[in-house]
Amino acid sequence: MNFFEEKDGSLIFRENGETVMLTPWGENSLRIRSRILDDIGEENAALLPPAPTEAKITLDDLSASIENGRLRAELSVNLWGNALQITFKNQDGKVLLQEIPNGGALQVKARHFKPLAGGNFRLKASFVPQPGEKIYGMGQYQQEIMDLKGCNLELAHRNSQASVPFYISSLGYGFLWNNAAIGEVHFGSNTTQWVAESTKQLDYWITAGDTPAEIEEAYAQATGTAPMMPEYGLGFWQCKLRYYNQEQVLSVAREYKKRGIPLDVFVIDFFHWPKCGDWRFDEEFFPDPAAMIRELKDMGIETMVSIWPQVSWESENYQEMKQQGLLVKINSGIDVQMLFEGNNVFMDATNPRTRKYVWEKCKKNYADLGVKTFWLDEAEPEFGGYDFETYRYHAGSVAEAGNIYPREYARLFYEGQKENGQEDIVNLIRCAWAGSQRYGALVWSGDIHSTYEDFRKQICAGIHMGLSGIPWWTTDIGGFGGGYVEDEGFRELLVRWFQFGAFCPVMRLHGNREPSIEIFDKSGKKRNGSGNDNEIWSFGEENYQIMAKFIRIRELMRDYTRSLMKQAHEKGTPVMRALFYEFPQDKACWDITDSYLYGSDILVAPVCHEKARSRQVYLPAGASWTHAGTGKVYEGGKAYEVEAPLDTLPIFLRYGRQGYLIGEI
């Protein structure tokens, strides 16, 4: 029997209706696919076409191997059940990842396909954990955890959760689950299990590298890099829920200008429209949006407008979109997918015709007026109950293809803007999947709460997102919900979060501040309300001075931040970096949850505990570190207790680089 063959540069295994294919896919990388009773399909959820590489393939009766650069896959057949096991090794013969043993008395399978009605399968892929392995990436989960070993993660999107199924291992490899199905992953101590609830074939990608940077750059080549961040993405952005009319927008922008506070982007939040799905300004509250946008532009401020994918039953576009098949479908029952200001369904961003239709509306009503940047909210999308099995896209059932939605939503606007001749593109979005970065997606961490616990979780989330190939990331400074403007405890939290925000890829102040304000139209009908004031002068003079100082610090770093964005664009390098990214040889760096590197030169240690006026900071070995506030030089490889009065935070400069910050912080 011939279990193995070589075909067109791939290694193929066949047995009992299963076909397994291993294909070189970029330097030091392989793509692994498996299918039951069918040829391997060419469908591809995330990977870009690879650059040609030459792999070495060897065949034997019961074993085979394929070697591509630093990565070698060894395949062996267990005669008890004729089952296949794959082991991945690096160039030194070290085991990186191994499928579980197959067959035997337990009759377990490394690639278990359970048939579903209609022809798809529930798929479970199982691997043997390696001792001492640490795992990082996987997108954004709301937890204060860096090493994901031992975690159970849902492979699905929710408000504040973005599932990006790529991780970096401390053993020297990266792994992408190239499958957009709803599912889960278990990084257990006995097995690692990946589950897709509905799929046609197994598909994953693995790469080997000697450093985290090499692995990250290989992943960027495989899935794409972010565009170059526009200049207006480098400074401070002002936002709140919500500036509800034209005069309010202009009065706040004029006040920033009057005070001499640099402001790059002014954000106009949701329900500036009449009904969800209208995608235009409400003329009662925004009588001359073109003039408003021109005045902001004259002040050096770009206008960002919120977009929701919801389409209300009362929208002027609902009937046409329904007739044309441009909406997400419910499998049965009454088609209501979210209740918010009435009955709503979602536009189907996976449908090319929908993308064309929605962009034409937004071009006419926003881009042609001068809007260059969009806020793509509700991007998961936020189904009322997250009952994923209930809905269907153009791309397939949500169970099978659901996780691509936020990427295709970003694609809708990116491709429309490119077609419109725009080159400097960045769009804020509430979710992402593998490949979102190449469509100008700036992810923010969703509707998080105004607590120190949530603050700490965002530090981990930002680091993980960078390692997941999403270098553009930000938060609602101060948290989205639960912050009372006059509360002194919240004001201190806001200041600490604001300091952190100055050292995030994008610095954006947002939130639904309490107490809220009721809004009525001229007929007396109650409209969607507004949060309270959220400008930097809204929280007391002392806090205003601190926040204004950190906006100036952000401006001082503009050239440095631009250089980080260039690295992200060219190589996929994270802007927020885990300490181990630059110092992989320092074992302590692999366990730090509450500090990070902004680029290679600036170590940021946010003050993220209530009323704290100092904190412990670990400085990586292999460098000297200069305290940006005092100029004092510290030896790396040690932890220090560092003072942190409210008007500052611990910032350390690697070898004293970026010395212009010394004394400013």
Q: What is the mean pLDDT of each run of 10 residues along the chain (665 residues)?
A: 93 96 98 97 96 94 97 92 90 97 82 95 96 97 98 98 98 98 97 98 98 98 98 98 97 98 98 98 98 98 98 98 98 93 97 98 98 98 93 97 98 98 97 98 98 98 98 98 97 98 98 96 93 98 98 98 98 98 98 97 98 98 98 98 98 97 96
**Cβ-count burial of 347 within 10 angstroms (0-12 exposed, 13-18 middle, 19+ buried)?**
buried
Structure-block tokens of residue 517:
């304000």
| Pairwise CA distance, residues 510 & 184, whole Å | 32
Contact 23, 33 (CB under 8 A): yes
| Pairwise CA distance, residues 153 & 130, whole Å | 19
pLDDT of residue 103: 64
| Pairwise CA distance, residues 567 & 573, whole Å | 6
User: What sections of 332-451 are H helices per DSSP?
Assistant: 352-365, 398-401, 405-419
pLDDT of residue 500: 98
Q: What is the pLDDT of residues 598-657, one digit of tens each?
A: 999 999 999 999 999 999 999 999 999 999 999 999 999 999 999 999 999 999 999 999
| Pairwise CA distance, residues 558 & 526, whole Å | 43
pLDDT of residue 107: 82
User: What sections of 331-469 are H helices per DSSP?
Assistant: 352-365, 398-401, 405-419, 452-467
Task: Give residues with Cβ within 8 angstroms of 8, minimum separation 6.
Answer: none
Phi, psi of 303 (to 5 degrees): -100, 125
Contact 373, 300 (CB under 8 A): no
- Reference 476, options 453, 448, 504; nearest CA is 448
- Reference 180, options 388, 19, 444; nearest CA is 388
Evaluate the CA torsion angle 625, 567, 137, 379 in order and state its sign. positive
Phi, psi of 351 (to 5 degrees): -95, 120
Q: Which domains, ranges and CATH numbers included, belong to the chain?
A: 4-223 (2.60.40.1760), 232-307+352-381+400-571 (3.20.20.80), 578-661 (2.60.40.1180)
| Catalytic entry in 214, 255, 415, 447 | 447
**DSSP secondary-structure letter at 477?**
B
| Catalytic entry in 18, 197, 203, 380 | 380
| Pairwise CA distance, residues 455 & 500, whole Å | 9
Contact 179, 122 (CB under 8 A): no
| Catalytic entry in 269, 377, 492, 594 | 377
380 in active site: yes
Phi, psi of 540 (to 5 degrees): 100, 150
